[in-house]
Structure 1
Amino acid sequence: MSEQPLTFLPLSYAARPPRLVVVAPAGDDWVRWAAAALARLSGVWGCSGSVVLPAGTAGHPAVQRCLARLQPDHVVPYVPTWGTADEVAPGLIQAVVARRDLPDGSAAEQFEEFLRKDRWGAPAAVEADEDAAALRVRLVAGQREQELLHVYGLFDAEDEQSLTPLASIATAPLIGVPQPLVTTPAALAYAMHVGVEKTPYEGTVEPRQWLEAAVRGDESPLLSDLHPQAGADAQPMMSHWAARCIPVRRGYRQARSTMVLGDSPEDFALAQVLRQLHEYVAWLPEGDVSLASFWLFDRRHGTEKLKVTSASLTPDEVRARIDKLWDERGYQLIEPAEEKRPYTVVEPSDLELHGHSMVVLQTAWEQPRSLPASVAPDGSLMAALALAGEVPPGLDAARHRWQVTLTCANHPLPPLPELAAPAVTTADQDPWHTFVRAADGGITYWSHRFDFVPTGASLAGTLAAPKLLWPGIKKILHHAAQASETQLRPSAAGKRTAITERLLGSRKALEALAASSGWQILRLFLPDASHAELPAHSSWKLKSAVVLSWEAITAHESDGWNAAAARTQVDEWTTQGVLRRGLVLGCSHCPIFEFYPLAEISQQYRCRRCGGDNNLAQDRWKPFGEPRWFYDLHPAVLELVANDGDVPLLATQYLRTQPQARPALVGEEFELLKNGSPFVEIDFALTTSDELWLGEAKKTDSLAESPKARKREICKLIDGCTAVGAHRLILATAQPAWADATIDALRQEVRGRRSAGRPVPEVQLLTGLRSKPELSWL
């Protein structure tokens, strides 16, 4: 593949702790096991951006949907010791020792001491391990074995070298909820906000206090009550500030507040993941919540209403419970005649998850960097030099491990699991060098090298410095399609668009042309265009094409189109090859007139039809008199205009103006194939730093005429989105609105697939492309 000369890639650099998804044992004691896993996670740098899931909960559709947005670096099982298992279920160790029938004395004591530190391998732990392995495949597919070699599990008794202890980063005392207290969902609802500490505790806490604290979160004084000896500078273990980090949220319209009801493991898991995605999240399981409701409704939730949802309760059950909370809240004001409740009940599948969030080191984020890179013909950016290794302020390369995240302002990457090491590193890069993948809108990689590093190596020789590749949108789609054994090829329309893009220089230039008066000029070259108002002999319909003279081009009337503008535009188009300047000449041997480009004209020329030789003389050209220049439109551009190619171009131009799509990579039409046979054609693709969007663009207001054909077209589009992991389907039309029959068919298909637990992209409707574009949700 030929490469263009080197350029400098403007980057933004951030250092951050790794994001973990920790799968804990479940069963009847799932609350205690979740507390034990939280206690272990609370001691790791990055715990504030990580989550604990009870085994079996990741398969819940609501949890699964949210996990896809989390973009974890590692999915690991929590591996407890027998000592922890004995704390969860007292008497386990004594039962094992008794079965051994050891003599009293040192032998029994030594065996018990060994057993307490040994891994607990009961079926519940095996289930957590298997669940983590399955989830790892789903969330970080294509990353092969590198992740396992870096971080395999979160162990109770082992010194995990690949994860940095929180205590080595923190500059203030760390406090959390004592683990013996976390025995109920109410206590867990609070502990997940502040962390769990492996310390004994003899006192008790009233259930109402847990629920109030769960709603108030880090603002609650409960944690300081549990640690009366702690100083004023003590920080909760799950606090971002305790880890010298801050949360960075991008792509959010405004702060989102969410309440999760229900006391099942799935409710806890849903609340855990939503805490990383929304501004304010509280989990409120069963119990006396009258006092908690005061703080719940007293909070300010921005301009949006509080979203109330559940993974285990039906919408009616959720509505009944939250209505009761509102009606019995601890304070009452004089209500208006029509009470406006500050909350709304939503299905978890309808929660907005747009944008992304990451926890970064507060001293090392949004740092500008510049990396020499080359640009491939397909738009991929290849790093010419590795980024020099460096240690962020406040970290120590000998003791700490961190993630490096590099984002390019003009080349976003969606966080697709398929964009792992082979997709985002150059061909000569050793895939075992470090753990590399697409995340957070760019490329992220592990700070340290995996391969052998000799003693006394330099800093640059110790830290990983991979050669990176920012794939273009065609490569992104190719990698995404491979995961579902789907092939991708350009469609006929895509080839025409690609040719026109090359002529104009970029997709943006083509979109600008589609939105300008120049597009109407190009429509004059169509065979069915009306030329009645053009000057006589200024246009000719030949067998091969329609050609226009300068007089015909300047005769077109539109805003901003005058002789000077026409002269500038025509000269630009002829330079680009969009138009060809030439003469209309006849043949002395056969009665045919043809257009001959300027490059083919000389005193003698050969007829294209019969091959006869002709002299350039007066009786050969049209019209009579001195020869007049005519202009012929490039065939690919002509077909693009004839097939209403401006509709998808206007769609992507408008989508670029949306906050989530600034910036974006845009691709032209393509086909998806299964077993070599095409099953759907996609009119455009667009990638943002968070999502991959596919689109269908029509000049009409319907996908098809009959109900059967509409359903077939809708199914093909949704299946196409599923095949490449697209997050959103955009249906665009030049009409002011989509037909009601099309919208009803869409809703029915989306509702049916969601009810069956099948993946469905979010659907947006884009209307009025040639007049007043508007974008709305289905």
Structure 2
Amino acid sequence: MVFDGGERWHFWARLALYACTKFWGGAGFILIPHNNGTVHPTLLAAARAYDPDYVVTLQRTIRSIEQAMPGALNLLDSEGKPSEGTARDQLIERAGDRPIPWGADEQARKRVAEVCSSHRRRHISDETGWDEHVTWLAAYGDTAHLTKAADISGNLTDACLSAPPEWDGVFGVAVAARCGAVEEPQLGGEPRLDEPESRRLGSWLVDPAGGLGTPPPDIVWHPAAVSNVDPGSLATAFERTKLGLTVIGRGIRSRRRIVVSIGDAAEDFALAYVYERLYGGGLWLPTVWLTLNGTGERGIDFAVRTAISDHVLKGDTVTVTTTSVDESTLDSIVTDLRQPILWTPGDEESMVRQYEERLTRSSVDWPVEGVQFLAVADQYNQDYAIPITRSDAGDIEMVVPCPPPAINHPVLAASTALRWQADIELIEAIMPHGRGLDGHAAVLAEGADPYVTWVRSGRDGIVYESERYDFIAAGTPPMSRLARPRFRVPSLATWADLMARQDGKRMEFSGAGRRVEVMRRLWGDRAALAAHFAGPMLSVLRTFRPTGKKSESEFEETDGSVLPTGAGEHLWEGYLTFAGILKYGKAEAGKETDFRRQVDDLLARGVLRRGLILGCAQCGKPAFTTIDNLAQVNRCPRCSALNDLSQPRWRKPDTEPQWYYDLHPTVREHLSQDGDIPLLLSHYLRTKARRYVDVAELELKDAAGNPLAEADLIALSDGQLITAEAKRPGSLGKAKLAQAAAKRALLAEQLHADQIILATADSQWQEASINALCKQVRTRPWAIPAPCIRLVCGLGTDRIVDLCVDIETGQTSPWR
């Protein structure tokens, strides 16, 4: 939910949290503030990782605007005159719930939606925009397609912890963020708490499990007067929104990371709030809760230090960050927080080192791994066997519709107003998730009705609404009212083309890409293809590359032969014997059987061809004849003369002919253009990933078919989308260096890539190429979070170097 992060942000944040508390699942919603329509880049990245089903604004009403900004609205009476005084108050009383559009809110909402993959689709009659059906959330009244908590369990009757409506300021926001809000917030001020009450409440907010603080009776809500209630025994108002739901995590994070966001801006609060929702480790620290220059809440300050100390001693990583505090102040805070509060005799230095290592100041990253979300209890991991078809391009399509996404929880199932989302993942398929692709165009199977329900490509797979939007006859059973779409998962090449076509472009295989596709079919799949090129056979395959001079490919007589090809004998191609294969493969003694097995495998695949080199009695030219075409009488491929298969035709040895091996012409051509480098990169990346798929040599073209840029490799590695340039020399060139770098950035922008890789067989990349790419990434106006730059050097050697580049400085460090 996007809300106003300006001067009155405490009020708008509390109102947004009040709205969240009204809806089922609201405890999992996140808040994104804006300032005059502008959203902080860190929060854009956070929203992208969160992967919302809907991006909405907090709906403003006449009453809420009048509270936050008295007199800001121009209200006219029935005679068209400005309404003032008592008449204005009465008008606001009567029409206070009337929604008022706010341009800056919608501008910010669209900016957040642009980096996400929420429910939306390209409208048939509108080629320039998106069609969305949920764009606002009402603090008053209903919001279509979302379920109010009261529609499931009825009105709230039990006591709970809730932000008091009159509590504003830092404590008001912090309590609402922790507990939710049952009653509509009012514009007010900080609660009047004495020092012990302030210390206990702040300590509870900072570290609820630490035992240093307790919730005060003031935040206990009950519909009637109540006494003798222990606040510590009560659930929060947010708990009601999680009826039948449980928190689950997707993926594994090797070490828990705690983010401490310091500052008094709306962005500081939201950063911690979102991190807490996503990873369970966000802590907001307003500056008034820290002891700075002798000021601040000393009791809360001690609770902060205690909480941080617990995390450091458990081995957690604590990251201190801010969006508003100046550099020198933040440095002072970090230095102060690094002071241990407890240690044993003689252990102080070791404790200080632990704090310095584990408590750092840096920006926040938002990994997909380890993200938490709410799912229906006991129904978040159900497996079904579904028949599928697989095209030659690798597209997978379901033959039958999805099973009904029925809910078993008795209370939830009994609610006729319930609306929910279903996540679908086809286990055998790997495709980039999210990234703004229209789900209706990308993942609906051919012939499926695009309007039966709303579909999107989400962070964890395909997501669709449970509700059907086509005709449903009266009396239809509840199970038959549920949407059951039929889906497909496009291959990486198809997906890239869909991303391009969404912007009026297209992506298709280049000439090199078509060669690789031929090779993929020969080897069976890209993994086997890349593995062969990364093994000892690569040096053998390279000897088959055509050359311009015969002397460049001379072999000893027992190792092979070189023959001219084409008119004018302008190219020379090598043919190896098995002895030559062993020699150029550098086979060790006793490893001959391994090479024999690999050669036989390549022969069976059609990559290698066995045959004889026979001379012609008429034209005198030798030529290679495959074993499939050999006969007692053979036709010369050059002059068509017929020749007996006799010793003068093969010349040596004198006894029986020598077998030679030819390489498939497509593989020869690919190797002659350094096509092995992208395959070496492919194999390297595959060995570093748990889930990996890639495609080579795709070309981005405009609507007229003009080439814009080419990717040597596009890969999806553990959810990270990679575009790569793979070259033998470590340079993007000299004459058009800036243009070459711009093409790398254009491809990454088009595909919403996470990484741009520069790969080379050289030991390093030239500094000029690195700086040119850094400049392009640094200065480009990215609509999405900018990709990181990665260097992979030494491909084809036993010393591969993998580096990350700082786009601001060009400095490198080991890839994480």
Specify the TM-score bucket, using the shorter chain as the normaliser. Answer: 0.7 to 0.9
The change in CA–CA distance for 1:679 and 1:527 in structure 2 (over 3 A counts) is same
Question: Does residue 362 of structure 2 align to residue 346 of structure 1?
Answer: yes
Q: 1:43 aligns with which of 18, 22, 31?
A: 22
Identity %: 26
Shift in Å at residue 96 of structure 1?
7.9
Measure, in 1, the Cα distance between the counterparts of 2:783 and 2:427: 36
Q: 2:421 aligns with which of 372, 384, 403?
A: 403
Measure, in 2, the Cα distance between the counterparts of 1:24 and 1:591: 85
Measure, in 2, the Cα distance between the counterparts of 1:717 and 1:92: 48
Alignment check: 8 A CA contact 2:121 2:132 kept:
no
Q: 2:169 aligns with which of 173, 180, 184?
A: 184
Match of 1:448 in 2: 467
Shift in Å at residue 83 of structure 1?
4.3
Shift in Å at residue 435 of structure 1?
1.2
Shift in Å at residue 496 of structure 1?
2.2
Matches within 5 A, 1:80-229: 80-85=60-65, 88=68, 114-116=94-96, 118-121=97-100, 125-140=102-117, 143-144=121-122, 150-167=133-150, 175-198=160-183, 204-205=192-193, 211-216=202-207, 221-222=214-215, 226-227=219-220, 229=229
Measure, in 2, the Cα distance between the counterparts of 1:527 and 1:143: 50
Measure, in 1, the Cα distance between the counterparts of 2:498 and 2:208: 41
Between the two structures, name the one with larger relative contact order (CA 8 Å, sep ≥ 6): 1
Q: TM-score w.r.t. structure 2 length?
A: 0.81
Shift in Å at residue 469 of structure 1?
0.7
Q: 2:602 aligns with which of 568, 573, 598?
A: 573
Match of 1:589 in 2: 618
The change in CA–CA distance for 1:671 and 1:585 in structure 2 (over 3 A counts) is same
Alignment check: 8 A CA contact 2:46 2:366 kept:
no
Secondary structure of the equivalent of 1:542?
Answer: strand
Q: 2:309 aligns with which of 273, 298, 302?
A: 298
Measure, in 2, the Cα distance between the counterparts of 1:196 and 1:663: 42
Measure, in 2, the Cα distance between the counterparts of 1:454 and 1:24: 40
Match of 2:690 in 1: 662
Measure, in 2, the Cα distance between the counterparts of 1:631 and 1:251: 49
Q: Which moved more, 1:510-519 or 1:427-436?
A: 510-519
Measure, in 2, the Cα distance between the counterparts of 1:48 and 1:458: 31
Matches within 5 A, 1:619-634: 619-623=648-652, 624-634=654-664
Amino acid across the alignment from 1:215: V
Shift in Å at residue 772 of structure 1?
3.9
Alignment check: 8 A CA contact 2:386 2:398 kept:
yes
Match of 2:393 in 1: 378
Measure, in 1, the Cα distance between the counterparts of 2:83 and 2:511: 79
Alignment check: 8 A CA contact 2:249 2:370 kept:
no
Alignment check: 8 A CA contact 2:742 2:773 kept:
no
Q: Which moved more, 1:607-616 or 1:572-581?
A: 607-616
Amino acid across the alignment from 1:157: Y
Q: Which moved more, 1:142-151 or 1:643-652?
A: 142-151
The change in CA–CA distance for 1:766 and 1:193 in structure 2 (over 3 A counts) is farther
Measure, in 2, the Cα distance between the counterparts of 1:238 and 1:389: 29
Amino acid across the alignment from 2:112: L
Amino acid across the alignment from 1:725: H
The change in CA–CA distance for 1:284 and 1:440 in structure 2 (over 3 A counts) is same
Question: Does residue 787 of structure 2 align to residue 761 of structure 1?
Answer: yes
Match of 1:256 in 2: 257
Q: TM-score w.r.t. structure 1 length?
A: 0.85
Q: Encode CA deviations 1:667-703: one digit per residue, 9 max, x unaligned.
A: 1122223464334332211124633111222344x22
Q: 1:53 aligns with which of 15, 32, 48?
A: 32
Q: Which moved more, 1:676-685 or 1:578-587?
A: 676-685
Amino acid across the alignment from 2:791: L
Question: Does residue 699 of structure 2 align to residue 671 of structure 1?
Answer: yes
Alignment check: 8 A CA contact 2:114 2:783 kept:
no
Q: Which moved more, 1:541-550 or 1:186-195?
A: 186-195
The change in CA–CA distance for 1:163 and 1:704 in structure 2 (over 3 A counts) is closer
The change in CA–CA distance for 1:494 and 1:209 in structure 2 (over 3 A counts) is farther
Aligned length: 745
Measure, in 2, the Cα distance between the counterparts of 1:208 and 1:86: 34
Measure, in 1, the Cα distance between the counterparts of 2:201 and 2:77: 37
Match of 2:48 in 1: 68
Measure, in 2, the Cα distance between the counterparts of 1:84 and 1:149: 25
Shift in Å at residue 353 of structure 1?
6.3
Measure, in 2, the Cα distance between the counterparts of 1:233 and 1:454: 48
The change in CA–CA distance for 1:312 and 1:685 in structure 2 (over 3 A counts) is same
Alignment check: 8 A CA contact 2:560 2:576 kept:
yes
Measure, in 2, the Cα distance between the counterparts of 1:611 and 1:777: 59
Measure, in 2, the Cα distance between the counterparts of 1:523 and 1:596: 21
Q: 1:487 aligns with which of 503, 506, 514?
A: 506
Measure, in 1, the Cα distance between the counterparts of 2:133 and 2:230: 35
RMSD across aligned C-alpha pairs, in angstroms?
Answer: 3.9
Matches within 5 A, 1:215-294: 215-216=206-207, 221-222=214-215, 226-227=219-220, 229=229, 234-238=234-238, 244-289=245-290, 290=298, 291-292=300-301, 293-294=304-305
The change in CA–CA distance for 1:225 and 1:182 in structure 2 (over 3 A counts) is closer
Shift in Å at residue 31 of structure 1?
1.5
Question: Does residue 632 of structure 2 align to residue 639 of structure 1?
Answer: no
Q: Encode CA deviations 1:499-541: one digit per residue, 9 max, x unaligned.
A: 1111010011112212222223323323569999976344110
Shift in Å at residue 264 of structure 1?
2.0
Matches within 5 A, 1:603-614: 603-614=632-643
Q: 1:550 aligns with which of 555, 562, 578?
A: 578
Match of 2:407 in 1: 392
Question: Does residue 749 of structure 2 align to residue 722 of structure 1?
Answer: yes
Alignment check: 8 A CA contact 1:176 1:191 kept:
no
Measure, in 2, the Cα distance between the counterparts of 1:294 and 1:225: 26
Q: Encode CA deviations 1:140-178: one digit per residue, 9 max, x unaligned.
A: 386236996653421233333521223556799584532
Q: Encode CA deviations 1:356-396: one digit per residue, 9 max, x unaligned.
A: 44332231122222211100111111010001214233131
Shift in Å at residue 282 of structure 1?
1.4
Secondary structure of the equivalent of 1:268?
Answer: helix
Measure, in 2, the Cα distance between the counterparts of 1:543 and 1:152: 69
Q: Encode CA deviations 1:547-604: one digit per residue, 9 max, x unaligned.
A: 1233433555425874433333222212211011222122233121111223333344
Alignment check: 8 A CA contact 1:58 1:64 kept:
no
Measure, in 1, the Cα distance between the counterparts of 2:53 and 2:42: 21
Measure, in 1, the Cα distance between the counterparts of 2:165 and 2:306: 26
Shift in Å at residue 352 of structure 1?
5.8
Match of 1:12 in 2: none
Measure, in 2, the Cα distance between the counterparts of 1:768 and 1:169: 61
The change in CA–CA distance for 1:627 and 1:757 in structure 2 (over 3 A counts) is closer
The change in CA–CA distance for 1:362 and 1:44 in structure 2 (over 3 A counts) is same
Q: Which moved more, 1:222-231 or 1:434-443?
A: 222-231
Measure, in 1, the Cα distance between the counterparts of 2:253 and 2:619: 68
The change in CA–CA distance for 1:260 and 1:359 in structure 2 (over 3 A counts) is same
Amino acid across the alignment from 1:727: D
Measure, in 2, the Cα distance between the counterparts of 1:431 and 1:95: 43
Match of 1:10 in 2: none
Q: 1:509 aligns with which of 521, 528, 536?
A: 528
Measure, in 2, the Cα distance between the counterparts of 1:60 and 1:281: 18
Alignment check: 8 A CA contact 1:58 1:135 kept:
no
Match of 2:812 in 1: none
Amino acid across the alignment from 1:641: L
Amino acid across the alignment from 2:499: A
Secondary structure of the equivalent of 1:546?
Answer: strand
The change in CA–CA distance for 1:315 and 1:506 in structure 2 (over 3 A counts) is farther
Measure, in 1, the Cα distance between the counterparts of 2:636 and 2:372: 66
Shift in Å at residue 761 of structure 1?
0.6
Alignment check: 8 A CA contact 1:602 1:616 kept:
yes
Alignment check: 8 A CA contact 1:389 1:463 kept:
yes
Shift in Å at residue 474 of structure 1?
0.4
Unaligned runs of 5+ in 1: 1-21
